[in-house]
Amino acid sequence: MTIPIATPAAARRLRRTLAGELHVPGEPGYEFARRPLHDTIDPRPAMVVEARGAADVRAAVVAAREHDLPLAVQATGHGTHVPADGAILVRTSDLAAVLVDPDRRVARVGPGAVWGDVLAAAAPFGLAPLSGSSPSVGVTGYTLGGGLGWLARRHGFAADSLLRAEVVTADGSIVTATADDHADLFWALRGGGGSFGVVTAMELRLHLVAEVYAGTACFAIDRAPETLMRYREWIADAPDALSTAVLLMHLPEGERVLAIRAMHVGEADEARRLLAPLFAAAGPPLVDGMRPMRFADASMGGTAPRHLELVHDLPDAVIEAIVAAQAAPTVEVRHWGGAMARRAAGAGPVGPRDVPLSVIADAHVPELAAALAPHATGGSFLNFLADPARTATAYAPADYEALREVKAAYDPDDVFRIGHAIPPADATLSRRSARRSRAASA
């Protein structure tokens, strides 16, 4: 990789201003600091900033802009699909503070926090965030990308729970975005991704959820077709309090099984009654891991998406292809809808609100992809999207154009251009015109 000529000057500037550490190629610490979470990419940033506060983030943003270097942010590395080659990479892992206000039911979260941090802080008050499937997932990137968790059918996307964000914008300003201040930026952050600035703190709404009935039950694979056929009918009457997925997966020993995964916010007896038709179709469970538990302990796992399609139905041809896709370690059919489908006034640009089902495979199986294609919406979901060339498919067309206008207002020079970047519509657009465009698309 060729290091941009401006990099030494940017590094000298940052060394004079940072409270945290700076790592450049060839110096101790660089190889460790540049590492991604997954080995699917091998990033070679021009330098890595270990931020110790918002001032460090601001210094990195100003250096990136003035020296024409791209800027990328990483907390845990989840969802990182593009290497930050030649960029200033800002690591926020040390900024992981979480403060819970139980009276307001709000959590204030640092940009390096993971969901396990928020769960631990909220659980003593009987409160729950709209967290992801794993406690190790970073809060900020997950929320900015939409955030589909196991409480989403009851309370909406994680992006819908965002109340306030402190943001370092491309010109080095530190602003607070809410529904009343910098409202266009606030709207964009609620599902539009990290293309508009660096979030250095956010406030999230918490919900009164202390205990749930949750877990996974495994069944013999030969009942998979009947169970999926029953599932496509059963979801029509499923209450918002119940989130479910049907999976075909390989156990560690190699055996392929059918699995039903569920979380119910309510009594165990009611959950079992609601799930009874699916269990009847699936047959006697090989293992039944469903039980009452604290929400904070309900680490449900998830399917790492290599192929995602959003569908309105499960016709027989799709079910047959799912059952036949033995090359994929896991294929998951998940029920969406509920509160996710109800777009409140001022809600952010999260795209697939009207889609009831997703089919996710953790490996690309050409036969499955071909069977899904005629029935898929063509849309996607930012958190599950690996290809930055398809970023626009995560949004309704009007929302995507409004996002481009907000981008033009806050980052006309495209400093934040790595990953799922939104291109600016026109660098001369004012914030007022971007706000008008965003309001017209709502």
The structural domains of the chain, with segments of one domain joined by +, span 7-91, 98-208+423-441, 212-388
Q: Is the pLDDT of residue 201 over 70?
A: yes
Structure tokens belonging to residue 19: 């409270």
Spatial distance between the Cα atoms of 291 and 20, rounded to a whole number of angstroms: 45
The pLDDT tens digits for 279-337 are: 999 999 999 999 999 999 997 777 778 899 999 999 999 999 999 999 999 999 999 99
* CATH number for domain 212-388, candidates 3.50.50.60, 3.30.1490.100, 3.40.462.20, 3.40.640.10: 3.40.462.20
Instruction: Answer yes or no: is pLDDT of 100 > 90.
Output: yes
pLDDT score, position 372: 96
Q: Helix, strand, or coil here: 194?
A: coil
**Tokens encoding 318:** 């799709």
E-strand ranges in 158-255 read 162-168, 174-177, 198-205, 207-208, 211-220, 242-250
- Nearest residue to 57 via CA among 84, 35, 101, 89: 89
- Which amino acid appears at position 111 of this protein? P
98-208+423-441 topology per CATH: 3.30.465
Residues 6+ apart with CB under 8 A from 424: 404, 407, 408, 411, 412, 414
Sign of the Cα pseudo-torsion (110, 116, 118, 120, in order): negative
- 236, burial (CB in 10 Å: exposed 0-12, middle 13-18, buried 19+): exposed
98-208+423-441 has the same fold as 7-91: no
Angle at alpha carbon of residue 113, lines to 111 and 117, rounded to 5°: 155
More confident residue, 267 or 28: 267
pLDDT bracket for residue 79 (50, 70, 90): low
**Model-level pTM?**
0.92
Dihedral (C-alpha) 143, 149, 151, 156: value to the nearest 10 degrees? 50
- pLDDT class of 428 with cuts at 50, 70, 90: very low
By residue count, the chain amounts to 442
CATH of 7-91, one of 3.20.20.140, 3.30.43.10, 3.30.565.10, 3.40.50.1480: 3.30.43.10
Average pLDDT of span 373-395: 94
Provide the pLDDT for residue 346.
82
Mean pLDDT of all residues in the chain? 92
- Please determine, for residue 263, whether its predicted confidence score (pLDDT) is greater than 60: yes
Q: What pLDDT is attached to residue 324?
A: 97
At 178, list the tokens.
Answer: 């809410």
What angle in degrees, to the nearest 10, is found between the helix axes of 7-17 and 54-66? 160
Q: What is the pLDDT of residues 397-419, one digit of tens each?
A: 999 999 999 999 999 999 999 98
Reply yes or no on whether the pLDDT at 429 is more than 90: no
Nearest to 13 by CA among 64, 54, 52, 50: 64
